[in-house]
């Protein structure tokens, strides 16, 4: 039996734990000769409640994600991963990641940080990573940082 991961989907959001998760995803992709798919999701639930309009990818709210994805893609390519795809999406992060894009890229592994940037959502609804674990149809690796400085270094690398 072949237990190698072929399609890895790594969720990034600019947090330290997502930077560490990215580093782990790169290591796993290199070992398994996997395609690395990176996704950044703008949580539009708060936007649609305030403005009755869901932003589209050309709105400024996506600029940070576009820059982050390009930097991560360059880092992954420089590390030796031959195929890196980037996706930017709007919606509920755990639904977009575990349902929509995991199916779209036929992911057999999702890698995400244990905690993202949104502390209020984590308090009210539970973490995105918990939702991904519960709703995903493939393996999920939830990465914790042992040291915040190591995570920041992973993002710069």
The CATH number that applies at residue 123 is 3.40.50.620
How far is residue 133's CA from residue 142's CA, in Å, rounded to a whole number? 8
How far is residue 20's CA from residue 12's CA, in Å, rounded to a whole number? 10
Does residue 105 sit in helix, strand or coil? coil
Per-residue pLDDT tens digits for 72-89? 999 999 999 999 999 999
Report the pLDDT value the prediction gives residue 135, as an integer from 0 to 100.
Answer: 86
How far is residue 71's CA from residue 69's CA, in Å, rounded to a whole number? 5
Residue 1 lies in a domain: no
Q: What is the percentage of the chain residues whose pLDDT exceeds 70? A: 74
Residue 49 lies in a domain: yes
- Structural domains counted in the chain: 1
Per-residue pLDDT tens digits for 40-54? 998 876 655 555 555
Residues of the domain holding 33? 7-156
Alpha helices, H only, 33-116: 45-51, 63-79, 93-95, 102-104
Is the pLDDT score of 127 beyond 50? yes
Report the pLDDT value the prediction gives residue 20, as an integer from 0 to 100.
Answer: 93
Q: Which pTM value belongs to this model?
A: 0.81
């Amino acid at each position: 039996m072949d237990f190698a991961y072929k399609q890895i989907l790594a969720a990034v959001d600019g947090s330290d734990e997502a930077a560490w998760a990215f580093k782990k995803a790169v290591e796993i992709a290199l070992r398994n000769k996997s395609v690395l798919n990176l996704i950044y999701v703008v949580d539009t639930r708060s936007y649609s409640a305030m403005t009755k309009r869901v932003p589209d990818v050309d709105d400024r709210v996506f600029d940070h994600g576009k820059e982050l994805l390009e930097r991560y893609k360059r880092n992954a390519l420089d590390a030796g991963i031959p195929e890196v795809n980037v996706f930017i999406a709007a919606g509920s992060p755990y639904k977009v990641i575990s349902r929509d894009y995991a199916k779209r890229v036929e992911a057999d592994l999702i890698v995400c940080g244990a905690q993202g940037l949104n502390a209020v959502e984590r308090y009210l609804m539970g973490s995105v990573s918990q939702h991904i674990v519960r709703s995903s149809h493939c393996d999920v690796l939830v990465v914790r940082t042992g040291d915040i400085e190591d995570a920041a270094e992973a993002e710069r690398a």
